[in-house]
Amino acid sequence: MILQLNHLQRNHAASSAQDVIGALYSLLEEGRLEQSQFAHLRVHLDWIQYRQNFRDAVTVTREPSEHGEIHPPIEMHVDTRQLVPDSLREDILRAMIRANPEPEGVEDRLFLEDFKTFRSSLVWDFNRLYWHRLPDWEEATGRSYEQALPGGKSDANHPEAVADCVADFWTLLRDLENKNRLAPEIFALEIGVGMGVRSRIWLDRFRALDQERGTNYYPRLKFLLGDYSLSTLERSRPAVREHLDLCSFIVLDAIDPTKTLSFLRHKLLHIHLTNVYDNLPDEEFARRDGRLHLVQVRAYIPSGESVRIAKAFELPAGEMSRTVNRLLESGPDYFSDHSRGVAFWQEIWKALRLEERVVSLEDLPDVSLPAGLDPSHLEDVLQEAPADFRFHLSSGALESFRSTLPLLHPRGFLQVQDIFVTDLNEYLLGFHGPGKLDGSIVNWVNGVLLREVGERAGYDVHFAPFRYRQGSRTSILYTTQRE
């Protein structure tokens, strides 16, 4: 057995390692765990910082058989945060039985889909539903999504951070003007505007700085607020009411902003995104003994929860799967009582889990990587990576990043404020998603791959920790031209 500690929470690591080893040995001694199973166990102790997430306390995935192996590896993930010592043995046994190729007598899950890539899972439909029906969710919970963030507010709105960004922008304008290269219209874009607070702070600060310096850039500014949700854009309007004359509100596809903004190709002097990439569809890969595997998932609701929710909402138990699909298609309005529909949505989201399996990439010749990252680039990146670890492909973020770069003016810069993994070894030191944040999905973003894609596109990518709030896990990605 190999025991891997994937986190730095000392107290959880020490006691749970002892509990897990003790439980496994006792199961082995009782004959409830075979020696061959024990020999091929890889036990991962994780600590999931997202209290709401998609995992049970113990999950087991059987690795695919390769090269004629009789006993392929068995991967066990233990969430040390959820772990309850008294029920650990039963949790392990149940997870082991469920991971059998043909599990007997285990029908404790209501599956909502077949196995598929994480990106294709219906959990992303829930994510989309959340952003499109955000006011409904907020009304039901009594708090805004910003209040649901760790710390109760967004780092994006930190006035000092915004002021520094404005100063950089102003300096760029002055440099261009000194070289007679500043166009009459000055374009800037914010993607993922939320309530418009950051945009307001930015515009207020830019106007003030411009007036202070007497440069008259502000009247030439064309500030675009972009979001994929029309309702979010509408909510941002009041925040920037003093600047409406130079603001435009644009619904855009976060994965490919050029679909809507191609007319601004090479014209944007500044683009900013906050907490967008961590919410875009993603894939997860696992590397075992140097070979790559794709993590596939299927969404389910534990049967106990399914029965409880069906009873609470007076639904036939057999109708649960269909009702969930209708919810995702039509939103909470599917229910004649709107508030009941929202309550159902929240219950389902809370109960929702993901079962996993890993599939060798050689068996999936059609897995396509995001544009800008081909298999040889990924191989280059993985040369410096651990031989056994799981990592995000951050496919949505990579596509969005690569699609956004062509909008930049030759001297423009992109800033992205988000949660980034900047060294692949970090995947061995903590859990990086997916988790649930309010009604949405949150995933750390693979900054290493962003850097690779950026370099190939002609930009050096840098990460600076968000120094404006102590304890923040956010970093700021910014680009510089690559010569």
Partner 1 sequence: MNLPILPTTVVGSYSMPGWLERLKTEYFARRISRHDLDEIHDTAIKAAIKDQEIAGIDIITDGELRRDNMIDYFVERLPGVQIDRSSKKFYYDFYDSSVIGKLPMAPLGLAGDFRFLAANTERETKFCVTGPHSLSKRIRNEFYPSEEAFATDIARVMNLELKELVKAGARLIQIDEPNYSGFPADLSWGVKVLNTMVEGVEAKIAVHICYGNRYGKPSWEGSYRYLFPKILEAKVQQLTLEFARRGGEDLDLLKEFSAPFELGLGVIDVKTNAVETPDLVAERIREALEVLPAERIFILPDCGCFHLPRNIAFAKLCAMVEGTRLVREELKN
Binding residues for partner 1 (CB under 8 A): 181, 183, 265-266, 374, 376, 405-406, 408-410, 455-459, 481-483
Alpha-carbon gap, residue 446 to 429, rounded angstroms: 14
- For residue 53, give the DSSP letter: B
Residue 275, Cβ neighbours under 10 Å: how many? 22
CB 459, min distance to partner 1, A:
8
Q: How far is the CB of 372 from partner 1 (least distance, A)?
A: 11
CB of 347 to partner 1, least distance (A): 46
Residue number with CB closer to partner 1 (415 or 479): 479
* DSSP letter for each residue of 109-145: EEE-S-SEEGGGSTHHHHHHHHHHTHHHHHHHHTS-T
Minimum separation from the CB atom of position 256 to partner 1 (A): 13
Q: Which is nearer to partner 1, 209 or 457 (CB)?
A: 457
- To partner 1, the closest distance from the beta carbon of 174 in angstroms equals 17
**DSSP string spanning 307-361?**
HHHHHHTT--GGGHHHHHHHHHHHGGGGSSSHHHHHHHHHHHHHH-EEEEEEEEG
| Closest to 80 (Cα-Cα) out of 117, 43, 40 | 43
Q: Which residue number, 3 or 381, has a Cβ lying nearer to partner 1?
A: 381
Nearer to partner 1, 276 or 408 (CB): 408
Angstrom distance (rounded) from CA 303 to CA 147: 32
Closer CB to partner 1, 112 or 268, in the complex: 268
CB atoms closer than 10 angstroms to residue 91: 20
Rounded least distance, CB 86 to partner 1, Å: 54
CB of 379 to partner 1, least distance (A): 10
Q: Kindly tell me which of 331 and 406 has the beta carbon lying closer to partner 1.
A: 406
Rank residues 54 and 401 by Cβ distance to partner 1 and give the closer one. Answer: 401
Q: What's the CA gap between 256 and 250, in Å, rounded?
A: 13
Reference 112, options 96, 131, 125, 127; nearest CA is 125
| 290: helix, strand or coil | coil
